[in-house]
Amino acid sequence: MKLELRHVTKSFGTHRVLDGIDLGVADSEVICLIGASGSGKSTLLRCINLLEPLDDGEIWLDGVDIAEPGHDANAVRRRIGMVFQSYNLFPHLSLLDNVALGPRKVLGVGRTEARGRAWDLLDRLGLAGRANAYPDQCSGGQQQRAAIARSLAMQPEVMLLDEITSALDPELVGEVLDVVRELKADGMTILMATHEMGFAAEVADRIVFLDAGRIAEQGPPAQVFGAPREERTKQFLARMQR
């Protein structure tokens, strides 16, 4: 799998949210996107998942520009999974059926097989005991882990994680981040927008600092966090450490 962004540009009205993003992503690489609210992190992930059309630029996936108008977005989303800040689980379905739904409806997997795969994923993420519970019967951390399982059920090659701990109580953050550690250990390619600087330093192969829709600095965690080159990076990190 080869994913490359070339001059990705996106505006909402007169506000330019992404201003010419160039970014290559290697197989099994974990990239953490950091930056202030409004810097473009979430919009960048939504553009990669084709939830937002580009104003300019290209997104290449294995030699195909998937951002071209008319490209099959559903085919892309089978390869690129996304987990959002809010869990977006169907409230009328159990966790098991939430996870099994995508493979059944999109991939054509039979009900028994889809539920079996869903059970295995929930078990792997520590949720086997909650498989038949409904979302409103589960904690935020359990719902977010179920949302991750739902994305993994589609067997994606890349996972986009958009501030997946921001809606959680502090004591629940760790259980979700443990799942990301497992995905990294399994070799999953991940782009993750996060405000968890300590976790980013631990898990990322590369830190990408976004500022006003541009990549202001990128590099290994030790360099970006330990010896940032750009003044804006230094200012941002100083604020985060207060």
Query: Stretch 25-38: mean pLDDT, rounded?
Result: 95
Residue 219 CB burial class (10 angstroms; 0-12, 13-18, ≥19): middle
Rg (CA), the chain: 18
Strand, coil or helix: 202: helix
Residue 177 CB burial class (10 angstroms; 0-12, 13-18, ≥19): buried
pLDDT in tens, 205-242: 999 999 999 999 999 999 999 999 999 999 999 988 76
Give the whole-angstrom CA distance, residue 151 versus residue 19. Answer: 29
Give the pTM. Answer: 0.93
What's the confidence (pLDDT) of residue 242?
66
pLDDT in tens, 139-198: 999 999 999 999 999 999 999 999 998 878 888 888 889 999 999 999 999 999 999 999
What's the confidence (pLDDT) of residue 76?
92
